Amino acid sequence: MDVKKLMDESALYIMDTYKRFPVVLVKGRGMKLWSADGKEYLDFLAGIAVNILGHCHPRLVVAIQKQAQKLVHVSNFYHNEFQARLAKLLCDYSFADRVFFSNSGAEANEAAIKLARKHAKERFGAEKTGIITALNSFHGRTLATLTATGQPKFHAGFEPLMPGFSYVPFNDYEALKAAIDENTCAIMLEPIQGEGGVVMPAEDYFKQVRDLCTRLGILLIFDEIQTGAGRTGTLFAYEQYGIEPDILTLAKGLGGGVPIGATLAREEIAKAFTVGSHGSTFGGNPLACAAALATIETLLEDGIMLSECRRMGEYFMASLLKLQKQFPKIIVDIRGKGLLIGMELTRDCAMAVQACFERGILINCTAGNTLRFTPPLIVIEEDIDRLTGVLKEVLERFS
């Protein structure tokens, strides 16, 4: 493979929407990736919280291979086995009664927004369309989900945005309460703000929000695109807050690397979607659902992987807290849940990401100054020790 030629053609023919590292990744196994020139990388990004079983997990590979040999796509005019089985599994292990399948997190959130508005209009009237989201949130790149995203930097150049959205500070119950008016139909929040810098809620925040929504007849939508599918140590993050949303969205880790999104809802709300009111050509195709079913079944078996996620998350947090004690002038905070962890720095973290990349470690910078760690849930102490060793070396250079 001519690596330089490939990167040159990529730069020439692909729209320039990504800042890419100068590497062509060609193979993955477990926690590791290899480039075309043979360099090995330890992956603490996992395709941005996607490859929860690691790369090329045997059970996932076999599920994809078997299904690809039988049936890849038929459209939703017909039933398919794996879509039905996956929908039942997600409902059995959640608050939900119904599922709508799509191809991505943005599409799952788009469906949630449409469902919330249609339900509210049918129940309360045509003016009930307002949706409140949080500042610093991230909900996707379609026009509606971009508007729902409470970060002006993502809005720039795409105005006029969709009407009907308003924003309040995350974790500020009084501000949220004050923003509600007679036209509010839903509140849409992430259990943890991932793209916003791994921002955690206060202990009682979501219980207050849930009580408020129930009292006022407003829907609570949880965007679990990043926190769902075991990332925080339970199948869904909402389980750890002692509440249930009315609508929940999933993607990223759901398919273990194969694109799939899902919007889950209670029956009373789901019935607002009737034949022809929403759809997706590729959503819930047999290949994606077979992959997702294998992924979620692997997560749930004996609870081993989820308990290991919690245990490794605690070990990871403890390791980073030790680093914080060594570099108190550089590391502001360590926060997260399970294997979604952020390390906030006093400076732009892009240099740290680059330095780790040069040393064979893949991590990510979000919100400008926060290193985000979303490794596969198969990560072990040895991997974490290697990462923290490299981070120590990098941070020493910054001192």
- Distance, CA of 175 to CA of 39 (rounded, Å): 50
3-state SS class at 165: strand
Q: How far is CA 29 from the centre of its chain?
A: 22
Phi, psi of 208 (to 5 degrees): -65, -45
Six token digits for residue 290:
């077979």
100 flagged as catalytic: no
Catalytic residue among 43, 223, 246, 383: 223
The C-alpha atoms of residue 329 and residue 331 are separated, in whole angstroms, by 6
3-state helix, strand, coil in the chain (%, to 5): 45, 20, 40
Distance CA 317, CA 313 (A): 6
Nearest-Å Rg of the Cα atoms of the chain is 21
> Catalytic: 252?
yes
Catalytic residue among 118, 128, 252, 337: 252
Is 53 within 8 Å of 276 (Cβ atoms)?
no
Cβ contact 338:310 at 8 Å: yes
Matching residue, tokens 């119950």? 173
Selected catalytic residue, list 138, 206, 273, 316? 138
User: Which residue blocks in the chain are alpha helix, DSSP H?
Assistant: 3-13, 46-49, 58-70, 81-92, 105-124, 143-148, 152-155, 173-179, 205-216, 267-270, 286-300, 304-326, 350-358, 381-398
The answer to whether residue 204 is catalytic is no
Question: What is the enclosing helix (H) or strand (E) of 131?
Answer: strand 130-134
- For residue 268, what are the contacts with CB-CB under 8 A and spacing of at least 6? none
So which residues are the catalytic ones? 138, 223, 252
